A and B are shown apart, each in its own frame.
Chain A
């Protein structure tokens, strides 16, 4: 089970709305390498691991990814706060606004809705952990691309923090893979 904690994992304080960045950052909410895919990937895979330690790392990283999902959602929400619909449309969010208003919905940067086909759960520990390591590297690369697109330090700071977490998770999954193969 889970218990909700009434705080973000890392502070987000956007003073200047920026719909252009909201449109691209939302891919880490519902895109192929986003936090929703990450969380579901690990929480699905954890049921079929040969070692308790490896189920543990999947359980705990899968849980942390939910906190990251909340951070990305907060980023998007604050980036469009107070921005009128016509301004959203100028930045490519007109279609999004028509379907979802100011609510969060898992899509990628082009508005393509989330699909569970973004991740795998094979019941084969080596296949799953290698996928997980690749997933963390892909997410790191996306955060780096987003940082390249950003110019506001209030946006860059939490993106850099989220990027760091991908690096740590990659390291832990590598250790989990070695526990299984050595």
Chain B
């Protein structure tokens, strides 16, 4: 994993945990309008970040995998195989 990929992955992981945490909060506070608006805003930003990452470094989920000569999903090291996740 090069420096740029690692930085992009860090940003993605940071955004992800923010959204996961906010999602859990919303499970028990489903009427919190401020949290609902935050979720919508940052989820959109997250989707953009994911697209940028996937364009450069391959699929994050199997739904985004493809390939002409080789199945891209199994082309790269798995998260537990590479330092930095």
A interface residues with partner B (beta carbon < 8 Å):
3-15, 53, 56-57, 60-61, 64, 70-71, 73-74, 77-78, 168-169, 172, 175-176, 179
Contacts and interface: CB of A to CB of B under 8 A. Distances in A.
B59 A6 contact: yes
Contact of B79 (A7, A15, A60, A169): A7
Contacts of A74: 79-80, 85
Nearest to B64: A6
Counting contact residues on chain B (CB < 8 A from A), the size range is 20 to 34
A176 B28 contact: yes
B36 interface: no
B9 interface: yes
Interface string B27-45: 1111000000000000000
A71 B84 CA distance: 11
A94 to B, nearest CB: 23
DSSP class of A's interface residues: helix, strand, loop or mixed? helix
B63 interface: yes
A66 to B, nearest CB: 12
Interface string B66-85: 00000000001011100111
A179 B28 contact: yes
Contacts of B12: 7
B28 A9 contact: no
A60 B80 contact: no
Given A70-B79, A70-B80, A74-B79, A8 B13 contact: yes
A168 B27 CA distance: 13
A71 B79 CA distance: 9
Nearest to A6: B60
B27 A172 contact: yes
A10 B84 contact: no
A147 B76 CA distance: 32
Contacts of B60: 5-7
B24 A6 contact: no
